[in-house]
Structure 1
Amino acid sequence: MLFIQPLFDPLKNMQGPGGSLLQNHFREFMDPSISPDTHEDSVKLYGKTFRFHGFGRHDYRLMSLDLRAISYILNSSVYEKPWQTRSLLSRLLGKGIFAMEGEEHKVLRKLIAPAFSTQSVKAMTPIFYQKAEELRDRWEDITSRATSQEVSFTPTAPTPTSSTNSCVIDVSHWISRATFDVIGLAGFDYHFRSLQDESEEVYLAYRNMFGVADKGPGLKGLVQIYFPFIEKVFPDEGSRVTQESLRVIHNAGKQLVHNKKVVILAEKADAKDIKEKDILSLLIKSNLSSDSSKRLSDGELLDQLSTFLFAGSDSTSLTIAWCIHLLSLHPDIQKRLRDELLSLPVNPVSDASQASTEIIDALPFLDYVVRETLRLCPSVHGTIRVATQDDTIPISSPIVLRNGTVVQAGEEIPIRKGSYVHIPIEGLNMSADIWGEDARTFNPDRWSSLPVSARVPSHPGIANLMTFSFGPHACPGWKFSILETKIFLATLLPHFAFEPAEDIRKFNAILTRPYVYDQFEKGSRLPLKVTKYTS
């Protein structure tokens, strides 16, 4: 592994950074505080497709910012998520859609599709408005009490400022609570009520479990992937918290799936259409109407709950939080968006009908701001695939090999079975070759006239935006996430103005989260100065 296999690995001929025997380049390419510079410098030095060291000089990894190569990899059945990645995801979320490959993934994808159709997502609009308005009311109460000093502040509570009707709020935490409530109702018709009180048992179980996951697996966690018995023989605090959380979630989920099936089977006997429109009900309905040989068991249905909850709450909450953060840094753009929202002839916030959804979708600058946030702040920094057989990958930009040979555009580079391919989602979203020289600048107006290189859609309706990936493993809930984000912004921005309160940086856990510079030990936070807006 250390000396012989690398001699026959075709990636050894690729250009890329060097290093000592056991040196890796993970931080350079995966730490969002430095990875944009690394990606940009690597493309200049080596071309759009290059290799770097994984767990040492023997472990060649391929990375590409060439959309032709990425499109081929993400659409080819040759490339799968590594079993190690799927094992980690399964341990946390069960055997959900993110941990599946091949025919199994294809069957589940087909079952899930009706739950995320345009019609189904629009049916969830009242829930989006309900929770957005509830969050607005909580913030109005907090800012009012902070001003009158009627609330006792703790280190984690909102902090009053000298401004009238203003205080510093951890917007990331509060938005996460709101989106958790949204997916509880929209996903399973389940009331977490976390915006009111963070005490519900299942909510706390998920939060505790995701809190452990955000710390990363560590060395012991990586070893446990290969030797699972270690966790049972030598459990640590993280393992105990995860197992207890999974027990609570499993018991509640099992009862929830059972109750839903009883209701749906009873309604099916009485009417052609199932009344329940939450994601779980639609999934059960689709499951019951499919080929019996391809139906999911109750346990497999249960595994999807955690996947939907994680992807549907935290990823969307981060998009909303990052968007508000970017608006706080660009007050001119914040004002322009607020003016657009305040100029509406019909107030979409007070009218949760389908008409209001169409009004929200028709707002051009709101759409630009959301897309630009998704581009600069994808919730997932990158993804990984492994070649399941020897293959060749087409490229659209020439590269020079270490021996001086030039691989021209339209030709292919070889890769051997077992090689890992890293796909830099944020790197592609910030590529100057795709988005222009100001690719790392927050500029919503770019979406009014995208460069030709960014117009060819990799995902329906989102141009060459990598945030939701594309191909068979593209995020099925992208419409859900975008509409929810727009409704939260349309509800909050007319009532509040946002200003920076701290130096905010990014870090990678499972998702890309914010933290306060020099306060990483306090965990993920995004404090902003929130002021009640008056025209």
Structure 2
Amino acid sequence: MSTLALGFLKACSIILLIPVAQGLVWLINMMIVAPIFDPLKKMQGPDGSLLQNHFRELMDPSISPDTHENWVKSFGKTFRFHGFGKHDFRLLSVDLCVMSHILNSPIYEKPWQTRTLLSNLFGRGTFTMEGTEHKTLRKLIAPAFSSQSIKAMTPIFFQKAEELRDKWESLMSSPSSADNAKLPPPSAPPCSPPSLTDVVIDVAHWFSRATFDVMGLTGFDYHFHAIQCESEEVYLAYRNMFKLADKGPGLRGLVQLYFPIIEKIFPNKATCITNESRRIIDEAGQRLIHSKKSAILAEKASAMEITEKDILSLLIKSNLSSDVLTRLSDADILAQISTFLFAGSDSTALAMSWCIHLLSLHPDVQGRLRNELGSLSSCASTSSSTVHSAQSHAEAIEGLPFLDAVVRETLRLCPPVHGTMRVATRDDNIPISSPIVLRNGTIIQAGESIPLRKGSYVHIPIEALNFSTDIWGEDARIFNPDRWFSLPHTARAPSHPGIRNLMTFSFGPHACPGWKFSILETKIFIATLIPHFLFEPAADIQKFNAILTRPYVYDQFEFGTRLPVKIGRVDL
């Protein structure tokens, strides 16, 4: 072999060895060197083998409540657990002082992996922006979720609630078309002996269709007609994407985060579905944005009052009124709508579904609520009444104390989001309000702080905080709406306006902007349905975690999200 050829091979070998050496150095630093100097190494927490993680214990709703309770008893309110192996120390705390610091501090952001996964589905929405960009966006969308704007949307809430009620009435009149004809028989015995009609409906499915309709109209004045028929093209595109989101990224998806070229070179079925769905949504969205922007500009030019109240119109109006340098692009505006549609429809649908489920398990509570709603049952149908009538009816519903307690207790026990993550963008010291005993016996007293290094992950345990006996009392895991009439002192300190220490909507700069929207919509649907229907359990329902916490029938996980409930008519 010539000297030139040997030199070429040697150069190639060196070029190839460089990334291998860099990777080896990175691996040694990550798994051996860095953990030695990680301050979380000194904290107590569950131990594991070299590559063991604690994700299932923390994130599987079937075991996470016991996990949280046992770990808090063993290690205190603030401790560490293992992420991707023994080297990956992560922080978890049910100390509200710790959580308040992390959720209000600009130091902590959603991990880039989470933001990338979400932006691949929905674009650059409120879930994916951080820092100044996020602050500017929140300011732009604020008018769309003001009390006045939500009040203007109440006729749509009533319209769709009544449409769903009528649809369920028709299913009861034609049992062969109800969901019990489409659902396989449960392998587990029902929670209570059947005493109602044989009509069973999957409330999770129907509420999902109804809230999609609501968000279509209130979000961007678009008719999905999902309650009547699931065939509209844009609706199906969104549904296909949301189904993919529920399945999680899988191993391939995680690898693609670090090597996105894989998706372009070897697209799989999920990639094709996502791309086609995004194409349909983007084309429809661009038409809507162009139409509404033109209408708003024309009304401004003619000095006419802008009458459209949907979120897209309000967002465009706010965007056009802002500084040119801070305006959103049309693509970013569309991303907000996609984000609101996912968060606002499915999360609210789950809140309604879990509420009906809990009421079916507690007939005494269901009866008390029906009695309270009796004073409203004689009101005229608000879908065909004036806007003022709908708004007055909504105010009356908001003023019902037991309905409020039932909805809040449902949101506490069944938060649509089980937990979330933050990552420290620089070194920090976190204040604590409960003592921490380190592994060597050293005690960090309340009022002091614990160090956290840059790059450390923090788990935000929404469910654990909602189930904390230190906050809610010894019956924290029991459905008890009456607790809201005499909350313990520990549950009264406000963490978010109007909902006290309920972590369901989070708090701080990244708190859910649509929490008022979701609560009012839920109340109106429940207030519309409870006076007309009796609910009893039809199967043993369990929870699973897939971005949102969803229901499934025990031993029938392969059929996906379902919450079948037995229904009967109330004699009016």
Q: TM-score, normalised by structure 2?
A: 0.91
RMSD, aligned CA: 1.7
> Are 2:453 and 1:421 equivalent residues in the alignment?
no
Deviation at 1:373, TM superposition (A): 0.4
Extract unaligned runs of 5+ from structure 2.
Answer: 1-29, 187-192
| Larger Rg computed on CA atoms | 2
Please list the CA deviations of residues 260-318 of structure 1 after superposition, one character each: whole Å capped at 9, or x if unmatched: 10111111122353110000000000000011111111111111111011011000000
For 2:555 and 2:407, the matched residues in 1 are separated by 29
Choose from 484, 497, 513 the match for 2:534. Answer: 497
Choose from 385, 393, 397 the match for 2:434. Answer: 397
1:74 alignment counterpart = 103
Instruction: Please list, as runs of the form range in 1=range in 2, the aligned pairs for 1:444-463 lying within 5 A after superposition.
Output: 444-463=481-500
Deviation at 1:342, TM superposition (A): 0.9
Deviation at 1:166, TM superposition (A): 4.6
For 1:423 and 1:151, the matched residues in 2 are separated by 40
1:187 alignment counterpart = 219
Find the residue that maps to 1:140 and give its secondary structure: helix
The structure-2 alpha-carbon separation of the partners of 1:510 and 1:164, relative to structure 1 and needing over 3 Å to count, comes to closer
Say if 2:196 and 2:566, in contact at 8 Å, map to a contact too: no
Instruction: Please list, as runs of the form range in 1=range in 2, the aligned pairs for 1:331-370 lying within 5 A after superposition.
Output: 331-344=363-376, 347=379, 350=382, 352-370=389-407
Choose from 482, 497, 504 the match for 1:467. Answer: 504
2:260 alignment counterpart = 228
Extract unaligned runs of 5+ from structure 1.
Answer: none
For 1:476 and 1:363, the matched residues in 2 are separated by 23
Find the residue that maps to 1:50 and give its secondary structure: strand
Find the residue that maps to 2:450 and give its secondary structure: strand
1:266 alignment counterpart = 298
> Are 2:309 and 1:277 equivalent residues in the alignment?
yes
For 2:505 and 2:119, the matched residues in 1 are separated by 20
Say if 1:177 and 1:194, in contact at 8 Å, map to a contact too: yes
Identity between Structure 1 and Structure 2 (%): 71
1:291 alignment counterpart = 323
Say if 1:81 and 1:386, in contact at 8 Å, map to a contact too: yes
For 2:199 and 2:406, the matched residues in 1 are separated by 25
**Bigger CA drift: 265-274 or 87-96?**
265-274
Q: How many residues align?
A: 532
1:246 alignment counterpart = 278
Choose from 320, 330, 352 the match for 1:320. Answer: 352
> Are 2:563 and 1:526 equivalent residues in the alignment?
yes
Find the residue that maps to 2:271 and give its secondary structure: helix
Say if 2:171 and 2:177, in contact at 8 Å, map to a contact too: no
Say if 1:142 and 1:158, in contact at 8 Å, map to a contact too: no
> Are 2:205 and 1:173 equivalent residues in the alignment?
yes
Instruction: Please list, as runs of the form range in 1=range in 2, the aligned pairs for 1:209-224 lying within 5 A after superposition.
Output: 209-224=241-256
> Are 2:362 and 1:330 equivalent residues in the alignment?
yes
For 2:362 and 2:380, the matched residues in 1 are separated by 25
For 1:235 and 1:154, the matched residues in 2 are separated by 38
1:129 alignment counterpart = 158
Instruction: Please list, as runs of the form range in 1=range in 2, the aligned pairs for 1:143-158 lying within 5 A after superposition.
Output: 143-146=172-175, 154-156=181-183
Say if 2:158 and 2:390, in contact at 8 Å, map to a contact too: no
Deviation at 1:164, TM superposition (A): 6.7
1:507 alignment counterpart = 544
Choose from 423, 426, 429 the match for 1:386. Answer: 423
AA paired with 1:143?
Answer: M
Say if 1:348 and 1:357, in contact at 8 Å, map to a contact too: no
**Bigger CA drift: 262-271 or 12-21?**
262-271
1:408 alignment counterpart = 445
AA paired with 1:409?
Answer: A
The structure-2 alpha-carbon separation of the partners of 1:200 and 1:139, relative to structure 1 and needing over 3 Å to count, comes to same
For 1:59 and 1:468, the matched residues in 2 are separated by 28
The structure-2 alpha-carbon separation of the partners of 1:379 and 1:150, relative to structure 1 and needing over 3 Å to count, comes to closer
Deviation at 1:157, TM superposition (A): 9.5
AA paired with 2:159?
Answer: Q
Choose from 9, 18, 24 the match for 2:47. Answer: 18
AA paired with 2:523?
Answer: K
> Are 2:25 and 1:5 equivalent residues in the alignment?
no
For 1:19 and 1:203, the matched residues in 2 are separated by 45
AA paired with 1:93?
Answer: F
Q: TM-score, normalised by structure 1?
A: 0.97
AA paired with 1:174?
Answer: W
AA paired with 2:484?
Answer: W
Say if 1:171 and 1:526, in contact at 8 Å, map to a contact too: yes
The structure-2 alpha-carbon separation of the partners of 1:335 and 1:151, relative to structure 1 and needing over 3 Å to count, comes to closer
Deviation at 1:345, TM superposition (A): 7.9
Say if 2:81 and 2:90, in contact at 8 Å, map to a contact too: yes
**Bigger CA drift: 117-126 or 230-239?**
230-239
Say if 1:376 and 1:442, in contact at 8 Å, map to a contact too: yes
Deviation at 1:347, TM superposition (A): 2.3
For 2:299 and 2:320, the matched residues in 1 are separated by 13
Say if 1:144 and 1:165, in contact at 8 Å, map to a contact too: no
Please list the CA deviations of residues 98-141 of structure 1 after superposition, one character each: whole Å capped at 9, or x if unmatched: 10000000000000000000010010000000000000000000
> Are 2:269 and 1:237 equivalent residues in the alignment?
yes
Please list the CA deviations of residues 145-183 of structure 1 after superposition, one character each: whole Å capped at 9, or x if unmatched: 11xx57897534999x98675501101000100000000
Please list the CA deviations of residues 496-521 of structure 1 after superposition, one character each: whole Å capped at 9, or x if unmatched: 01100011000010100000111111
Deviation at 1:238, TM superposition (A): 1.4
1:96 alignment counterpart = 125
Instruction: Please list, as runs of the form range in 1=range in 2, the aligned pairs for 1:56-71 lying within 5 A after superposition.
Output: 56-71=85-100
Find the residue that maps to 2:423 and give its secondary structure: strand
For 1:400 and 1:153, the matched residues in 2 are separated by 54
